[in-house]
Chain A
Amino acid sequence: MNGHVPAEGEIRIGVYICHCGSNIAGVVDVAEVASWAAENLKDQGVVIARDYKFMCSSPGQDLVTDDIRDLGLNRIVVAACSPHLHENTFRTATARAGLNPYLCELVSIREQDSWVHTDKAAATAKAKAILAGGVERVRRNEPLDPITVNINPATLVVGGGIAGIQATLEIADAGFHVYLVEKDASIGGHMAQFDKTFPTLDCAACILTPRMVSAGTHPNVTLMTWSEVTHVDGYVGNFTVTIRKKARYVDESVCNGCGVCQEKCPKKVIDEVYEAGLGYRKAIYTPFDQAVPRTPVIDRENCTYFEKGTCKACEKFCESNAIRFDQKDEILTVEVGNIILATGYDIFDARQIAQYGYGRLPNVFTSLEFERLSNSAGPTNGHIVLRDGVTEPKTVGVIHCVGSRDRNFNNYCSAICCMQSLKFSHLVKEHTGATVYDFYIDMRTAAKGYDEFYQRVMEEGTLFVRGKPAEVTEAGRLPGEEGKLIVQVEDTLAGRQRRIPVDMVVLSVGLQPRADAKELAQRFGISCSSDGWAIEKHPKLDPVATMTEGVFIAGCVSGPKDIPTSVAQGAAAAARVLGRIQMKQMNLEPIKATVHPEHCSGCRICNTMCPYNAISFDDVKGVSFINAAMCQGCGTCVAACPAGAISGTGFSDEQVLAQIEGLLRVGADGLPLKRAAYPVAQHEGNGHRPEAPIEEAVRA
């Protein structure tokens, strides 16, 4: 058989069944499937059927490439894991052997069979059916050429927290342009609100602000704060992004950031965002002293001029004449090749857990409030005091897992709260010397230096109570409880109920997706979980990519993360983007729809089907045509065309109909499927089934 050259039009299929160790072979009888295919799919063109321990390994791929060369195979079917995992692996191998990669199909007998079924006979029968479907389909595959697109070297980064800043700097330092869009008035994100960072207790501002300044002054960075992405068009390499730059009422090009306007502004407003409601800002403000950019914004809702038509104190005192009360929102469009989403998280609203009393009991604080209290640049200059602003607490309770690991709220672990709580315990001790009770369910300190920090806090004398508090109340009824907050908790190590009176309670609230996470996902065409966290292309192997080419994710947008992980992800996403930029061009799946004008009746039904307006009507020829660059390949027009005049590459009618035939070749018992008699059955001896009339009936 060596060097067999297939006759013109002859289809020679090689079939490969992967054991995946015992992942598939433990449930599916792979040898049986292979011998069944060799025997029963001969007429379909199967010339060789093999099973092998790990098809994706180098020797596994060599089986395919050697057979293509030696046996003259011109179609390949690999039955293994999901095509989302290894389709590319086998298509690349096929191409290496000189065969068009689109003549190779991967069918899933792991995720859709061996991993979800336990009955071995049924799973083996299903594997045969899935394989037969792949064989029937691959017969109709056509050689395709990938579509090559140019990659615009500019990148959009959405979100100016530490992950977004890291990504921005990596790309900008490599010499490529970045548009960094931030919805707040300054970049910095949540990290800018923190005092110390665990476990090293570096001052957050000391490590963050130099990076903010680098991002703000980098020649390759266009910083757009107080701005939001409203619309995204295009595809990888060629996105057109519409950005709404909200009116600041201050001219950024003129303002020198001296801060006089903020001093002179007569209107004080409670700062709900940066100071977490504990401090004040003015109606014209920069969120904090080290803000980047230094240009303030006017809070239109609270500005006396916008309310009453008089004041303009800021304008009077501004030496650079930068105040512009008539400024309007600007709509800008930028062209970029790749997008990194680093939009971060919201914190859990502790008011939802009524029994902890946040919002009702004044001395119950959230973790973000505590961050501001302990921050030397915060509203109390770093003095940890009760809500009255003067009294230092003598005892403090820190409660873990508020809103996390709780089926009433968020089922997941917020990942950072244990370490954050330990940090609070340490800071309370350091600042006030108070007695600290730390209420935890499980202590999760699994990263470099984390557990050592836990031991340090234990040695400092923090009292750990294992148990989830049932309630925080001010209803004291025992001696020593008057005027205190009482934490009612089952101490699961001591095995008894305890009432612990404290002066202050800190709720270590969990992280949750941004309130607008679903709209964000929709806007950028990515998927998110039912919680709202963005879904990675692969949770382990591709954690910063998404299923949408050219859109990457970094930091807490895909789930709770600490600072080191967010920074690593920012850099990882940047590395992925830089790889794309260096390639200059990229190949896309050639999945597109085409109108065959000779069959088109000009009915225009397809014209309204396309959400991308890729289908137009040619008035002269009287037929519709599709703009290939705009077509995204969904195939809705292919299904809609009553004349069958539109074909879809990769998922043609012929391929899908053949796959259906193949899938229904064997029944649930592994034997040939018995077909029910239907009323329009054929005459005896007539070789074909009358599917056409029914099909046309519904198409029409």
Chain B
Amino acid sequence: MSTQAPVAPAPAEGTGAATIAEATTFEPVIIGFTCNWCSYRAADLAGTARTKYPPNVRLIRLMCSGRLDPTFVLKAFSEGADAVLVSGCHPGECHYIEQNYKALRRFQLLSRTIQALGIEPGRLQLVWASAAEGVRLAGEIARVTEEVRELGPLNWPAGEIVDIDNVTLEAAWEATGGDAGGPPETPGGANPQHAAESAEAAR
């Protein structure tokens, strides 16, 4: 994936949080992960029934909500999505017997993880929708869109720029202004530390 040329051209002027906040009405961009058997079909049904919903959500089809690798969600946030909607069959109605329960477990863990990264929990939402629930899915998309509009753009807390890819953890820590001895026991307020810690804790 990283063999690609950089995807999005840089905006003409300025980068970062300051410019985003200038927009008059904020239109969030939301990535939705849908299951091939239920929620993607619900989206099809909403279309067939011409049920209107805000154009802010962009759907990706997976075979099952159980296919949702947490990486996908983080990738979406890092690529500029303001929120992620995960959708699968209702509990007990999974096309693959029980895989939506596994999606639910991952969702709950991931929901806590993103908070540690400074992302509000409202930006990652789970909605069950059966193949018959086009109207319901459209309603949920509208609700999530409104909630995210309230939250505003995904605005990562500003901090020093660190290239974690090419440095050791210790060096990363130093670069963020920490002691050479390693991260402190309790997390500090500065967010670069926050991220570095998360990475370390997870390893």
Contacts and interface: CB of A to CB of B under 8 A. Distances in A.
A695 B71 contact: yes
Contacts of A673: 8, 29, 79-80
Given A110-B47, A657-B1, A691-B75, A527 B133 contact: no
B126 interface: no
Interface stretch (A216-224, A415-423, A648-656): A648-656
Contact of B58 (A130, A636, A658): A130
Contact of B69 (A639, A683, A697): A639
Interface string A614-654: 00000000000000000011111011100000001011011
A111 B96 contact: no
Contacts of B159: 679
Interface string B32-56: 0000011011011011101111111
A117 B55 contact: yes
Contact of B132 (A528, A654, A687): A528
B165 to A, nearest CB: 5
Contacts of A699: 69-71
A529 B132 contact: yes
B97 A692 contact: no
B151 interface: no
A14 to B, nearest CB: 20
Interface in B132-175: 132-133, 138, 153-166
B76 A639 contact: no
A661 B29 CA distance: 13
Contacts of A225: none
Contact of A634 (B6, B48, B99, B202): B99
A38 to B, nearest CB: 16
Most chain B CB inside 10 Å of its own CB: which residue of A653, A657, A660: A660
Contacts of A289: none
Given A525-B95, A665-B8, A115 B199 contact: no
Contacts of A668: 27-29, 55-56
A664 interface: yes
Interface stretch (A59-67, A121-129, A465-473, A475-483): A121-129
A118 interface: yes
Given A84-B41, A648-B67, A530 B202 contact: no
Given A113-B55, A522-B93, A667-B27, A678 B156 contact: yes
B17 interface: yes
Given A525-B95, A530-B130, A660-B79, A547 B2 contact: no
B180 interface: no
A677 B17 contact: yes
B44 A111 contact: yes
A523 to B, nearest CB: 11
Nearest to B50: A115
B37 A527 contact: yes
A112 interface: yes
Interface residues of A, number: 91
Interface residues of B, number: 99
A675 interface: yes
Most chain B CB inside 10 Å of its own CB: which residue of A648, A678, A688, A690: A678
B62 A680 contact: no
Contacts of A82: 44, 47
Nearest to A681: B161
A638 B106 CA distance: 13
Given A527-B130, A636-B96, A698 B113 contact: yes
Given A529-B132, A633-B63, A660-B75, A672 B69 contact: no
Given A636-B102, A696-B203, A657 B53 contact: no
A676 B154 contact: yes
Interface string A399-413: 000000000000000
A549 to B, nearest CB: 12
Interface in B1-30: 1-2, 4-9, 11, 15-17, 19-20, 27-29
Contacts of B75: 657, 660-661, 691, 695
A469 B130 CA distance: 35
A698 B80 CA distance: 19
Interface in A354-382: none
A697 to B, nearest CB: 4
Interface in B183-203: 191-192, 194-196, 198-199, 201-203
Given A660-B75, A688-B2, A676 B199 contact: no
A651 B63 contact: yes
Nearest to B159: A679
B85 interface: no
A163 B146 CA distance: 48
A689 interface: yes
Contacts of A530: 130, 132-133
B51 A116 contact: yes
Contacts of B52: 116-118
Contact of B8 (A116, A528, A675, A698): A675
A680 B7 contact: no
A683 B131 contact: no
A677 B37 CA distance: 36
A657 B47 contact: no
A694 interface: yes
Contacts of B191: 679
A651 B61 CA distance: 9
Interface in A96-113: 108, 110-113
Given A698-B110, A700-B203, 16 more contacts: A115-B50, A118-B52, A527-B95, A634-B96, A636-B96, A638-B69, A656-B62, A660-B72, A660-B79, A661-B1, A667-B29, A674-B80, A680-B162, A686-B163, A688-B6, A697-B203
The 7 A-B residue pairs whose C-beta atoms are closest, nearest first, are A111-B47, A635-B67, A636-B66, A668-B27, A697-B202, A677-B16, A678-B156
Interface of B: 1-2, 4-9, 11, 15-17, 19-20, 27-29, 31, 37-38, 40-41, 43-44, 46-48, 50-56, 58-64, 66-72, 74-76, 78-81, 92-93, 95-99, 102-103, 106, 109-110, 113, 117-118, 130-133, 138, 153-166, 191-192, 194-196, 198-199, 201-203
11 contacts: A112-B47, A140-B1, A529-B130, A530-B130, A609-B66, A611-B97, A656-B62, A672-B11, A686-B166, A691-B74, A697-B201
